[in-house]
Structure 1
Amino acid sequence: MAIRNRSIPNDGCRVMSLDEFKQWLKRFDSDKDGRISIEELSHAIRTNGRWFSRRKGKEALGSADVNGDGFITEDEVEELVEFAKKQLGLKVVAFY
């Protein structure tokens, strides 16, 4: 699922709430293990119309994967949000 077009303001940043971001990300948990792998993360970003290299996927995962297990868990999503804000033009707000 792409991020809704109505959420792109004049500055070009896509806007969504943290809950919306988490729900969107969960849709790409293909094996339903509650974690996001590099493959799932890359698929999520490509599906949203962004080119996302494997290198950029590793960078995102490395940035968000606090415990170093190779996956992004619920507890690490906020680190992924920080990466997305800086690298992907996404603005995550408390409420939207």
Structure 2
Amino acid sequence: TKKGDASGGDLGEIALPDLREEVAKAVANLQPGEVSDPFAHPAGVHVIRVKNRIPSSYKPFSQVVEQLRLEEMDRRYRQRLRSVVDNLKTRYVVEVHPEHFSL
């Protein structure tokens, strides 16, 4: 089965940039409740009804690449740190003395 078969063709929320070009063209200017003209698609001829429009929060990759890079570096750092700490815990006995902490 294909996505949407079990739900009567409802594909859920899909961002316009994630649609194939011919589908995006067919729905780009439709308002909620409107139906597209029939259009050719590799899987056949389709019509699409737009149920709702949600304002896009999509950002181009070029705008988020640095943030993604930093997040991945942080993730790897934390993973490595956890590995080092776990290794140390297996090699040494840890004693906690609460009287030395002022909370």
Name the TM tier (shorter chain).
Answer: under 0.3
Q: Which has the higher contact order (CA 8 A, sep 6+)?
A: 1
TM-score after normalising by structure 1: 0.21
Q: Give the TM-score normalised by the residue count of structure 2.
A: 0.20
Q: Which has the larger radius of gyration?
A: 2
